[in-house]
Structure 1
Amino acid sequence: MKEFKEPLIVGVVGAGTMGQGIAQLAAQNGSSVVLYDQLESQLTKARVQLEKSLERLKEKNKISFEQRMEIGSRIAYTNVIAAFSECDLVIEAIVEDREAKMNLLKGLENIVSEKCILSSNTSSISITALGSALLHPERFCGIHFFNPAPVMPLVEIIPGLRTDPNLIEKCRLLLQRWNKNPVVAKDAPGFIVNRIARPYYGEALRIVEEGIATENQIDSVMRCAGGFKMGPFELMDLIGIDVNLMVTQTVYKDFFYDPKYKPSLLQTRMVEAGLLGRKTGVGFYSYPANITNVAVDSGLEGRIFMRIISMLVNEAVEAYRIGLASKEDIELAMMKGVGYPKGLLAWGQEIGFEKISETLQDLYLQYQEERYRQSPLLKQLAKS
């Protein structure tokens, strides 16, 4: 399979926030873009938002007036799905619903040319399952961007069981040309980032549920002691508490209800109450919020930090052990996808795998829960 040749015609299905971002990214890199949505009102909103985004880039002197006009002219807005007939690549970015995506992909396959590559921006749904809707799943893969797509450097590429391996390399080279950092992940629940990052939120929620520390205390510890840009509760408010819960529920279910990924009752109640974070004005904090660090006793600080970082390192080690991705891609994904200050495998080595192992063993003895079981590889690393 030959490398993509520019200029490409890229189709984007879904004119929501993510679809808009992908369309802008492709247009900024010289592609002609067909942005589709069923709702004319959503297309109008997308056009306004994209024009504002390009105008901000011009005001910041990142693009010239001429570039701004040229990029905007490359994006065509349509509610006619037949407009994808000439596309080289189509990226689906609709609601995170398996059945809806599969029905869409079936329809797309009847419209696009036999040379067109189909892809999904899903963050958690099996690529193999989605590809089963197609007569030619070999030309389908996952291309998972992070929000906002024009800014966030990481993109996860996920082959299904029947994806042509050459297609993955073709997409990787394209994304590199778009100045992204592509990583390749196995088709496993949550892929790399959404799987490995689960304990950052889940263990923080557990600590609050147990009354060990407050949300603000935990956020302060992870920012100050850990060097994270945002604490877990601040970050959940930004992502959307409902969105974060949905990803956790999907990973939990798709891993056959593994206790490691068990959703939080506190988070569930927040969603039921409509306290979803910044988008509703209230989440774990009230907005506009002036979130500042609070003093935390050094003993409590150490307990909080080691508990969360040990769970994260254990998850990264296990991901590497089962071949979810290469060591380099795992480290890159967590730094570029969610802004971790260090790669977790390197961080575990720096802290000491023995100390990480001891922390998890103490938690297991205390709670007697499979949630705290160690990766077999972590046990080996702790002994070496």
Structure 2
Amino acid sequence: MPALNASATVAVIGAGAMGAGIAQVAAQAGHPVKLYDNRPGASAQAIDGIDRQLGRLVEKNKLTAEARAAIVARLQPVEAIEALADASLVIEAIVENLEVKRGLLRQLEDLCSADCILASNTSSLSITSLAAGLKHPGRVIGMHFFNPAPLMALVEIVSGLASDRALAEGLYETAKAWGKQPVHTKSTPGFIVNRVARPFYAESLRLLQEGAAGCATLDALMRDAGGFRMGAFELTDLIGHDVNYAVTCSVFDAYYGDFRFQPSLIQKELVDAGRLGRKSGHGFYSYAEGAERPQPVELSSDASVESCVVEGSLGVAEPLVQRLADAGVKVVRRDGSGVLRVGDAVIALSDGRLASQRSREDGMANLVLIDLALDYTKAIRLGIACAASTCEAARDQAVALLQRAGLKVSPLSDIPGLAVLRTVAMLANEGADAVLQGVGSAGDIDLAMRAGVNYPQGPLAWADAIGLPVVLRTLENLQAAYGEERYRPSLLLRRQVAEGRNFRD
């Protein structure tokens, strides 16, 4: 089915921030749009707000005054739901309540023509459940936009058990015509983004709970080494802990208490205390006027380092060697097991084991583990963890070497998988399970995480770049360290490694 013709009327129900944003998107794409809300005057007020936002774009020379006027002219506030009878597509963006949405859909089924598509912007409710009981459940499809809808590229096209595939394809093409990046997904808890993103929050929360480092240090590592726009604590403060915690609980409950999605007691305590983040003035950080933002912990060393020895390949961290050479460090290469030696220190990329465990098992004295970086040529910070037996002088030599490469060095306690590596491994693992269960294709999952939550790389493509055997070994070591099913590797990951294939092959 092709995209809706631009002359087709689109109706949006719900004039809150999300509904108004969707209405703006459709109007900008050329559709006549009817905006309805059961609160008197709310639709007109929302359109006035859209007009003001477009006005700011005109002031910045990002939109012409003529285009602004044309967009606003296509937006019609309506005060009665009966006025939506001629719509070709109705998108509901009302309260996240199953029974309320079901009642609305039943009303629309009787009101609108038989070929009108009924779309829900739900972020968490089952499309299958929403459509159940309707005379024609195949016309109900999820069209999940991300906030703010005019700016965020991703739209999840969600098919329930009865959803008509041709209609889903039509909505996919419509979203593309509206300038969005759509993905197909199956109606399962969290769809793609809200499911696959859970480990991003969960691993940082666990590291904080276990005393690996403070919020500022963990956030800095995710930004400066991992390439994420925000760390988990900054981001949850922005989202609102009530919202983020509720989504986690919803996914956890929907998967019958699977510990991969276990909510955090730390976040629950913030919610219980009313520390909801920016909107309440306090979350992990204080947003009170004049409040000082805590700074990440950094190590420094005055040790003199002029040369290092690289034994074998450092794998994904290999670009660090060239960075050291470019900084004037003499690099000597010889065969070995993939470690970097400087003075008494042995530096290796984490494999998910505790530094002390790996030092003992592999016979490496003065072991210093480094964390994963998105791009070792551009990272500005790197996390390290030392074995209990590593002497201070060896640690200082390792820090000095990394400083020569222009890196800030932040310490973590001896924690399995450090910060970035374990987070990326868990994101990839969740993405792999989503592919295995038919929630979405590998390409759609990577696109969804880039376009929906601004990840620097899709988690499955990132895992391919690291090497799937490395990711699998990291997860197996995490599972062994914790003794928990939370870190169990996906069957698809095991299969891809066994077959010598990547996710994106």
104-113 vs 185-194, which moves further: 104-113
Provide the TM-score with structure 1 as the length reference.
0.95
Which shifted more, 276-285 or 137-146?
Answer: 276-285
Q: Secondary structure at the residue paired with 2:190?
A: coil
1:257-276 aligned at under 5 Å gives the runs 257-276=257-276
Using the alignment, how far apart are the partners of 2:189 and 2:430 within structure 1?
Answer: 13
Quick one: distance in 1 between partners of 2:131 and 2:110? 14
CA distance in 2, matches of 1:3, 1:367: 49
Whichever structure has more strand as a proportion of its residues is 2
Contact 1:159 1:186 in 2 (8 A): yes
Is the contact made by 1:18 and 1:93 (CA closer than 8 Å) also made in structure 2?
yes
Residue identity opposite 2:180 in structure 1: K
Q: Amino acid of the residue matched to residue 10 of structure 1?
A: V
Aligned runs of 1:189-338 on 2, under 5 Å? 189-287=189-287, 294-296=296-298, 297-299=383-385, 300=411, 303-338=418-453
Q: What is the rounded CA distance, in whole Å, between the counterparts of 1:133 and 1:24 in structure 2?
A: 31
Residue 354 of structure 1, CA deviation: 2.0
> 2-side partners of 1:320 and 1:96: how far apart?
27
Alignment correspondent of 2:75? 75
Name the one with the larger helix percent.
Answer: 1
Matches of 1:259 and 1:186, distance apart in 2: 22
> C-alpha distance in 2, partners of 1:228/1:293?
18
Q: Which runs of 5+ in 2 are unaligned?
A: 299-382, 386-410, 501-505
In structure 2, what is the equivalent of residue 110 of structure 1?
Answer: 110
Contact 1:145–1:154 (8 Å) recurs in 2: yes
Q: TM-score, length-normalised on structure 2?
A: 0.73
Where does residue 87 of structure 2 map in the other structure? 87
Do the aligned partners of residues 89 and 361 (structure 1) sit closer, same or farther apart at CA in structure 2, a change above 3 Å counting? same
By how many angstroms is 1:151 displaced?
Answer: 0.9
8 A Cα contact 1:352 1:382, kept in partner: no
CA distance in 2, matches of 1:217, 1:184: 36
Unaligned stretches of 5+ residues in structure 1: none
Instruction: Choose 1 or 2 for highest CA Rg.
Output: 2
RMSD (CA atoms) = 1.8
Distance (Å, rounded) in 1 between the aligned partners of 2:84 and 2:293: 45
Identity %: 47
Question: Do residues 362 (structure 1) and 364 (structure 2) align?
Answer: no
TM-fit CA distance, 1:292: 7.7
Which is further off, 358-367 or 246-255?
358-367
**Mean CA deviation greater in 182-191 or 98-107:** 98-107
CA distance in 2 between counterparts of 1:51 and 1:280 reads: 28
Deviation per CA, 1:30-55: give whole Å up to 9, x if none: 11111111112543542332122111
Corresponding residue for residue 128 of structure 1: 128
Give the superposition deviation at 1:198. Answer: 0.5
Q: Which amino acid aligns with 1:236?
A: T
CA displacement at 1:99 relative to structure 2: 1.5
The answer on whether the counterparts of 1:19 and 1:93 sit within 8 Å (CA) in structure 2 is yes
Residue 336 of structure 2 aligns with which residue? none
Structure 2 CA distance for aligned equivalents of residues 181 and 164 of structure 1 = 21
How many residues are aligned here?
384
Once residues 10 and 77 of structure 1 are traced to their aligned partners in structure 2, the CA distance between those partners, rounded to angstroms, is 12
Structure 1 residue 175 corresponds to structure 2 residue 175: yes
Does the Cα contact within 8 Å between 1:220 and 1:292 map onto a contact in 2?
A: no
- AA at the equivalent of 1:183: V
**Counterpart residue number, 2:495:** 380
Matched letter for residue 179 of structure 1: G
Contact 2:9-2:32 within 8 A present in 1 as well: yes
CA distance in 2, matches of 1:62, 1:257: 48
Q: Which amino acid aligns with 1:9?
A: T
Cα distance in 2 for residues equivalent to 1:357 and 1:73: 55
After superposition, what is the alpha-carbon deviation per residue over 1:272-295, rounded to whole angstroms, capped at 9, x for unaligned? 221111222211122267768624
Q: Distance in 2 between matches of 1:61 and 1:204?
A: 41
Paired with 1:263 and 1:45, the residues of 2 have a C-alpha distance of 38
Match of 1:353 in 2: 468
- Paired AA for residue 252 in structure 1: F
- The DSSP-based 3-state class of the residue aligned with 1:284 is coil
CA distance in 2, matches of 1:17, 1:65: 23
Q: Distance between the aligned counterparts of 1:2 and 1:342, measured in 2?
A: 30
Q: Is the 1:32–1:74 Cα contact (8 Å) retained in structure 2?
A: yes
